[in-house]
Chain A
Amino acid sequence: MAAHMSFKDRNLLAVIGDEDSITGLLLAGIGHVNEHQKKNFLIVDSKTQISTIEAAFQEFTERKDVAILLINQHIAEKIRPTVDRYQQAFPTLLEIPSKDHAYDPEKDSVLKRVHKLFGE
């Protein structure tokens, strides 16, 4: 509940995704580099380590200026346990599909929780 006060300053979107998704989203204008030269996006390809992804996830969720965190679903699969444990209200975590992997509602952690609550 204490997070309510802090979200007034949150106005950025962060992305963890593959190159194509990131390019498109950056084209729309969400890319940001802050004063510490920290970007708000992480490009993940087949060579990226899982620990790097996890570290970026932690970093983005702890930043105070990030309101929404977008992550490609197939990348979320790689760090599924971390994503499933994520319970904070801010920043909001959204799983988006990528060019090669269509959106699968079964795997979405938020929807999974929803279905568990209502047994649908």
Chain B
Amino acid sequence: MSGAGPRENVFATRMALTNMKLRLKGAETGHSLLAKKRDALTTRFRAILRKVDEAKRKMGRVMQLASFSMAEVTYATGDISYLVQEQAKLATFRVKATQENVSGVLLPAFEVDRVPGSDFNLTGLGRGGQQVLRAKEVYAKALETLVELASLQTAFTILDEVIRATNRRVNAIEHVIIPRLENTIKYIISELDEMDREEFFRLKKVQGKKKREAAGAAERKAITDAVEVLQVRETEPRNDPRDATADLLKSNDEDVIF
């Protein structure tokens, strides 16, 4: 989105301006909080990453050991795979999932959950009984490592998703929401300024008109007054006997009440 880009469609009033300013403040706070969350998650992510790498390599070694013990068993007892497969009915080795809260994200963790069940009848295995038991323990240990690794890996996958989503939100606020709000605020301010200017202009015009009208009225009044004065002076009775009677009516003498 370029600079003076889209803005929201609002009526340019002072209330709208206050609203927009509040929202802008909210958006900026939200942005900084989300950026912090993202950074905290990324740190945690890197730590887990390192652990995952280590755990995988350890697992490689552990499984190798387990295979050796299995080979010993086969050597001592012969092939027990068929027997073992037939006897697998209910899992005695299970996992329980618990949730951990890591800076707002619920991450699962697996723990080994041994369920008491049908442990193998070691009948039919002859001399290799002890080897078999030992192999069983080695594999159980290996499985524990695997379960830990699985927890780390799940945490890793979920964190990855959450970091991506948070990043998207941060970017959205930074590049879309905040510019829009800023553009809207600029627009409202410019509209209000223009309305002020119009008001001012209108006021000045009206004042001017009023002044001109007042001035005009004053002038006319002055003229009418002057005319009246002149008229009165003309019609005033002069001390001239010839005109006395004729002008009695015209004079504005109060005592003459015709």
B9 to chain A, nearest CB (A): 34
Q: Which of chain B's residues 58-97 have a Cβ closer than 8 Å to chain A? A: 59-60, 63-64, 66-67, 69-71, 80-81, 84-85, 87-97
In the complex, the answer to whether B66 meets A7 with C-beta atoms within 8 Å is no
Alpha-carbon gap, A11 to B63, bound state (A):
22
Which residues of chain B come closer than 8 Å to A21, judged between CB atoms? 67
Which residues of chain B come closer than 8 Å to A118, judged between CB atoms? 46, 49
Residue of B64, B91, B136, B156 with most partner-chain A CB within 10 A: B91
Among A46-54, A55-63, A96-104, the stretch that binds chain B is A96-104
Instruction: Judge if B187 is at the interface, Cβ distance under 8 Å.
Output: no
Given A28-B136, A29-B91, A31-B85, A98:B49 Cβ within 8 A: no
Other-chain residue from B60, B70, B93 in contact with A23 (beta carbon distance below 8 A) = B70
Other-chain residue from B94, B106, B160 in contact with A4 (beta carbon distance below 8 A) = B106
Other-chain residue from A11, A33, A87 in contact with B97 (beta carbon distance below 8 A) = A11
Q: For the complex, would chain B's binding face be called helix, strand, loop or mixed by DSSP majority?
A: helix
Which residues of chain B come closer than 8 Å to A117, judged between CB atoms? 160
Other-chain residue from A11, A20, A30, A41 in contact with B96 (beta carbon distance below 8 A) = A11
Nearest residue (CB) in B for A11 is B94
Interface size on A, residues (CB 8 A): 50
Instruction: Judge if B8 is at the interface, Cβ distance under 8 Å.
Output: no
Alpha-carbon gap, A1 to B105, bound state (A):
10
Which residues of chain A come closer than 8 Å to B158, judged between CB atoms? 89
Given A24-B67, A27-B132, A105-B56, A68:B94 Cβ within 8 A: no
Instruction: Judge if B258 is at the interface, Cβ distance under 8 Å.
Output: no
What are 25 inter-chain pairs, A to B, with CB distance below 8 A?
A4-B108, A7-B108, A11-B95, A11-B97, A12-B91, A22-B81, A23-B84, A24-B139, A25-B139, A27-B84, A28-B140, A29-B119, A33-B88, A41-B88, A43-B85, A68-B95, A70-B146, A87-B157, A89-B161, A98-B67, A102-B60, A103-B56, A105-B53, A110-B153, A114-B49
Residues of B in contact with A (beta carbons under 8 Å apart): 46, 49, 52-53, 56-57, 59-60, 63-64, 66-67, 69-71, 80-81, 84-85, 87-97, 99, 106, 108, 110, 113-114, 117, 119-120, 132, 135-136, 139-140, 142-143, 146-147, 149-151, 153-154, 156-158, 160-161
